[in-house]
Amino acid sequence: MTQLRNASQVGRLGFLSEQNKRDIYLAALEVLANVGMRVYHEEAKTLLLEAGCTLTPQDRVLMPRHLVEQARLCVPSVVNLYDRDGTLALELGGYNSYFGPGSDLMSTYDLETGAHRPSTLKDVARAARLCDALPHLDFIMSSAHPTDQDPHLSYLLSFAEMMQNTRKPLVMTAENERDLSVMIQIARELRGGAEALRQKPYLVVYNEPISPLEHPEESLSKLLLCADTGVPSIYSPAPLAGATAPITVAGHTTQGVAESLFGLVVHQLRKPGAPFLFGIGPAVLDLVTAQSSYNAVEYLMTYMCAVEMAKWLDIPNWGYAGTSDSQLLDAQAGMEATQITFLAMQAGSNLSHDVGYLDFGLTGSLEEIVLVDEFISMNRRLLAGIEVNRDTLALEAIAEAGPGGQYMTSEHTYRYMRAVQWRPTILNRHGRERWLADGGLDLAARARQKALDLLATHQVPALPADLAVKTDELIGAFAAAGA
Amino acid sequence: MSLFEDLKLNVEQGKKEAVLALVAQALDQGHSAQQILQQGLIAAMDIVGAKMEQEEMFIPEVLRAAKTMEAGLEILKPLLGVGDMQVSGKVVMGTVKGDLHDIGKNLVAMLLSSAGFEVIDLGINVAPAVFAQKAEATGADFLGMSALLTTTMPMMAATIEELEKAGLRGRVRVLIGGAPVTQAYADQIGADGYASDAGAAIKVAKELGAVKA
Ligand code: B1M
């Protein structure tokens, strides 16, 4: 059994009682059994109907409780991800929490000029290399969406860039099962075969149903392909409270739980025991400005409920961190990005993405990624908790110092200081004179400087030449077939 | 409070029963249908529009106000002359092929219909040929397209081509929107109008309608 690290002594902010969780689960089961969902994928529909679901005259699939319970018995509680080299990197489950950037941002704040401009394939590569260098970003998503490429090749080309520019595991979006199957083929080449990739997953696929209660053809095709190939799949809806989901936190959570569990059942019916991530993208439609907020306080509440439900169901979860609705990297961005990240960390949200999002998921900032990396670093220290034992109680050191003494030269200080004192890399701890001498920069400017420095120096070992050739071939063949 | 003040307030607050009663009362008191429409219902919606712009009202409140206004209008319709009730125009709209995002499109559709447009919503994943067929079949004045993905934006250009092929481009004004869409893109593909949000969509549609008329 995988041993999960667990900051168990640290108290967690809980929103749901045991009874609340049961009630939400039962309400979700009721939605599945009595309201039903629409399924736009014939094979998946047949799979469900043969397993005991029924079809209403309005073409809704009703799912009985026992199918959900059966899927829960089959689905793994821990999903392991391996890096490009095949080394175990992430153990998703329990209270382990890992972080990564988001995907598909259409615009980017240019690191060099500060200009707000359309994202390009180069941005995907740069984000991957920067995140490779940052120790507290654990997995990689595309961050940018390459608007300078053939749209139908965009996900595949991003995948190739990401593979070249980071060793960390990847989470991918894909247009449909066709480009996804090419990604999987390339990953198999990397690992040395289908079975090797199944044993050591390198990528996770982000699939989404459509709220309310619809499961499109593309999402289910990708979900089934993941089940077949052993590539871990996320199945997380983005119900927008007030627009495509109930406005109340409990109702929002209930619908999201039902939608994600529906995918779980399809996935486990296809391949019992295949790796799956539960999740809810608890978006909130601001009913005054009509923007889809990633940081509304109700968003954070539904998010925390989703994580608590994942723990209760004992299924690894997909989550969110490091986002801001602000238009630029300002004090609002600092406030919002850190609040959601801290909540994710303390809740033990397993795989949290979207670090570096601004502008409701439309604009990316590498500086924000650097900032959040620092914040995660600091709070990993905080949530590791406090060790209380004879030595840390420091009775001897206190006696030694005595009244009027000091600890600067104490053996105890010397032994512990590097382990106890967390060091910032960009937060300022200099006095006014030194800060002015260093240029009098604010935090955003220092984050920018750090990003520039890392991008100038950080190298990722090249992929084996034959793999690079093979990748180009596979993408070339896909492009040719499409045209 | 005067009868009209009362009527406007109840429209704004979405109180349908009260509005129906007040419209009936106004007719009893001898006000013309035209006067009730202009000074009551439409005046109320002008206030609602302004409050929405000033972010004083939630969108569901605006939508309910519009529904309430429509209920009142139903009573007046048989009494109004043809010239009294201008429909702002007929709009066929949908989300383009390959794209399943529809929250923004739905919002634009609802607000356009509150603003007096007749909206025929084709839903999501609408192919260029289907847009063209429906525009033709319904005699639409406008074609509205929404796209949220950079991968599906090219479908807007393809749809405009389809309209051209069908010989409809002269008659149908094309309005586009969605997060990745810009005025520059609209110019590039030869769309008639672009709107960054639902409020702007109504303004642009009205402007385009006026240009045409
Ligand atoms: C006719 O005239 C007009 C005039 C004005 C018009 C108009 C038409 N249409 C719109 N407007 C304008 O007025 C409206 C009202 O003010 C506005 O409409 P909007 O739609 O902009 O605003 C709405 C009121 C609120 N906003 C929204 O509803 C969109 C919010 C975000 C978060 C979003 C959502 C909710 C969803 N998504 Co999607 N999603 C994102 C979005 C990020 C964002 N901030 O835009 C975006 C658009 N999605 C994205 C992606 C990648 C995807 N999504 C996908 C799926 C989904 C959900 C199903 C989960 C859900 C949609 C649910 C639904 N029923 O629509 C997938 C694609 C599915 C498909 N084939 O369409 C998938 C590919 C992800 C995947 N894992 O598979 C990104 C696009 C990247 C790109 N470069 O193309 C994205 C920017 C988020 C991100 N950064 O990853 C204006 O644009």
Identify the structural domains of chain B with CATH numbers, from first to last. 3-79 (1.10.1240.10), 90-212 (3.40.50.280)
Q: Which two tokens stand for residue A41?
A: 């994928």
pLDDT of residue B213: 47
pLDDT of residue B85: 64
A482 inside 8 A of chain B by CB? no
Cβ contact, residue pair A292, B103, below 8 Å: yes
Ligand 1 center to A426 CA (angstroms): 34
A154 inside 8 A of chain B by CB? yes
Give the residue-averaged pLDDT of B66-73.
91
Give the residue-averaged pLDDT of B164-178.
95
Helix (H, G, I), strand (E, B) or coil at A1: coil
Residue A268 dihedral angles phi and psi, to the nearest 5°: -75, -25
Cβ contact, residue pair A290, B55, below 8 Å: no
Ligand 1 center to B149 CA (angstroms): 7
pLDDT of residue B83: 65
pLDDT of residue A318: 98
Residue A401 dihedral angles phi and psi, to the nearest 5°: -70, -45
Cβ contact, residue pair B107, A290, below 8 Å: yes
pLDDT band at A11 (very low <50, low <70, confident <90, very high): confident
Question: What's the structural domain count of chain A?
Answer: 1
pLDDT of residue A3: 44
Chain A residue numbers touching B106 (CB-CB < 8 A): 243
CA distances from A364 to A114, A119, A322, A355 (A): 11, 9, 11, 9
Q: Which of B102, B148, B153, B181 to mutate to test the pocket of ligand 1 (most atoms within 8 A of CB)?
A: B148
Q: Which two tokens stand for residue A200?
A: 């050591």
Q: Which of B101, B110, B153 to mutate to test the pocket of ligand 1 (most atoms within 8 A of CB)?
A: B101
In sequence order, the β-bridge partners of residue B175 are B144, B193
First to last CA, chain A: 48
Q: What are the DSSP E strand ranges found in A110-261?
A: 116-118, 170-172, 203-207, 214-215, 233-235
Distance to chain A for B62, nearest Cα, Å: 10
Asked, for residue A410, whether it belongs to a domain, the answer is no
Atom of ligand 1 nearest to the CA of A105: 88
Q: If you search the block for the tokens 């609802």, which residue do you land on? A: B110
The answer, yes or no, to whether residue A304 has pLDDT greater than 50, is: yes
- Of the residues B52, B99, B150, B181, the best mutation for testing chain A's interface (the one with the most A CB atoms within 10 Å of its CB) is B150
Q: What is the pLDDT of residues A109-120, one digit of tens each?
A: 999 999 999 999
Count of other CB atoms within 10 angstroms of residue A153: 20
CATH code for the domain in which residue A320 is found: 3.20.20.480
Asked, for residue A460, whether it belongs to a domain, the answer is yes
Asked, for residue A92, whether it belongs to a domain, the answer is yes
Give the residue-averaged pLDDT of A175-192.
97
Ligand 1 center to A147 CA (angstroms): 16
The residue type of A439 is G
Nearest CB among A145, A152, A244 relative to B103 is that of: A244
Asked, for residue A8, whether it belongs to a domain, the answer is yes
**Is the distance from the beta carbon of residue A120 to the nearest atom of ligand 1 less than 6 Å?**
no
**Is the distance from the beta carbon of residue B94 to the nearest atom of ligand 1 less than 6 Å?**
no
Give the residue-averaged pLDDT of B38-42.
92
Range of the domain at A251: 1-385+422-483
**Is the distance from the beta carbon of residue A279 to the nearest atom of ligand 1 less than 6 Å?**
no
Give the residue-averaged pLDDT of A313-319.
98
pLDDT of residue A209: 97
**Is the distance from the beta carbon of residue B93 to the nearest atom of ligand 1 less than 6 Å?**
yes
In terms of Cβ atoms closer than 10 Å to its own Cβ (0-12, 13-18, 19+), residue A38 is middle
Instruction: Print burial letters for B10-34: b (CB count within 10 Å at least 16), e (below 16).
Output: bbbebbbebbbebbeebeeeebebe
pLDDT of residue A1: 36
Task: Tell me which of B83 and A470 has the higher pLDDT.
Answer: A470
What interface predicted TM-score (ipTM) does this complex get?
Answer: 0.86
- Of the residues B95, B97, B100, B106, the best mutation for testing chain A's interface (the one with the most A CB atoms within 10 Å of its CB) is B100
Asked, for residue A215, whether it belongs to a domain, the answer is yes
Ligand 1 center to A245 CA (angstroms): 15
The answer, yes or no, to whether residue A360 has pLDDT greater than 70, is: yes
Nearest CB among B58, B104, B150 relative to A151 is that of: B150
The answer, yes or no, to whether residue A8 has pLDDT greater than 60, is: no
The answer, yes or no, to whether residue A9 has pLDDT greater than 80, is: no
Cβ contact, residue pair B150, A154, below 8 Å: yes
Q: Are B65 and B18 in contact (CB under 8 A)?
A: no
Q: What is the pLDDT of residues B96-110, one digit of tens each?
A: 999 999 999 999 998
Cβ contact, residue pair B150, A145, below 8 Å: yes
In sequence order, the β-bridge partners of residue A109 are A116
Q: What is the mean pLDDT of chain A?
A: 96
pTM comes to: 0.92
pLDDT of residue A266: 98
Dist CA B26 CA B92 (whole Å): 36
The answer, yes or no, to whether residue A252 has pLDDT greater than 80, is: yes
Give the residue-averaged pLDDT of B27-46.
93
Ligand 1 center to B49 CA (angstroms): 25
Q: Of A238, A352, A252, nearest to A302 (Cα)?
A: A252
Task: Tell me which of B81 and A476 has the higher pLDDT.
Answer: A476
Ligand 1 center to A417 CA (angstroms): 49
Asked, for residue A413, whether it belongs to a domain, the answer is no
The residue type of A156 is L
Q: What is the pLDDT of residues A160-179, one digit of tens each?
A: 999 999 999 999 999 999 99
Q: What is the pLDDT of residues A70-83, one digit of tens each?
A: 999 999 999 999 99
Instruction: Tell me the percentage of chain A whose pLDDT exceeds 90.
Output: 96
Atom of ligand 1 nearest to the CA of A210: 58
Give the residue-averaged pLDDT of A319-338.
98
pLDDT band at A121 (very low <50, low <70, confident <90, very high): very high
Cβ contact, residue pair B59, A244, below 8 Å: no
Q: Which chain A residue lies closest to B103 (C-alpha atoms)?
A: A243
pLDDT band at B86 (very low <50, low <70, confident <90, very high): low
The answer, yes or no, to whether residue B143 has pLDDT greater than 80, is: yes
Q: What is the pLDDT of residues A210-240, one digit of tens each?
A: 999 999 999 999 999 999 999 999 999 999 9
Q: Which chain B residue lies closest to A155 (C-alpha atoms)?
A: B151
pLDDT of residue A2: 43
pLDDT of residue A88: 98
Asked, for residue A253, whether it belongs to a domain, the answer is yes
- Residues 6+ away with beta carbon under 8 Å from B55: A288, A289
Strand pairing category for A98-101 and A88-92:
unpaired
**Is the distance from the beta carbon of residue B193 to the nearest atom of ligand 1 less than 6 Å?**
no
pLDDT of residue A283: 96
pLDDT of residue A10: 77
